Each structure stands twice: as C-alpha cells, then as structure tokens.
Amino acid sequence: MTQQDWIKVIAPKLLLLAAGRELLELANALRESKAHPHLDKVFEHMQDKVSMSIDFVENPPTMDSFGPTHQ
C-alpha cells in the first residue's frame, strides 16, 4: 500500500453526551462484528477518542491534575 492509498479524515464534531455514548456503542458493535476488517483500526481509534472525550466531560480535570506549576 502506497502513501497515495491512504486518506486522512478529520471530523471534529460537537455532540451531546448521549450522542457520544451512542456513537461509542456503534463503534463497539461495528468493531466486534468483524464485518469490516479493513476498518478495524478506524473503529479502534474512534473508540479511544470518543471514550476519552466522554471521560473528560464526566470527570473534568482539576487544577491539581495538571501537576506542579513554576514557583
């Protein structure tokens, strides 16, 4: 596969938390089905990104979570 065979898709979207959970469920189901083997890594990446986004909303970082500041 050459460099020309690859495409880069960047799709930043704002979703309601419920829609994000639904998107994660869809990515999980698609990946688990193994019906689209060429897209497995895409589904895995979607799972990671959406999971991180949901976690960020549900557990927002605090000032302490950024570590020490310059003194």
Dump pLDDT digits (tens) for 1-51. Answer: 565 666 666 667 788 899 999 999 999 999 999 999 999 999 999 999 999
d(CA 27, CA 20): 11
In a domain, 64, yes or no: no
What pLDDT shows up at residue 42? Answer: 92
Per the structure, the count of domains in the chain is 1
What pLDDT shows up at residue 65? Answer: 72
What pLDDT shows up at residue 68? Answer: 66
In a domain, 26, yes or no: yes
In a domain, 63, yes or no: no
Phi then psi dihedrals of residue 17, to 5 deg: -55, -40
In a domain, 67, yes or no: no
**Residue 30 domain boundaries:** 15-58
In a domain, 49, yes or no: yes
In a domain, 9, yes or no: no
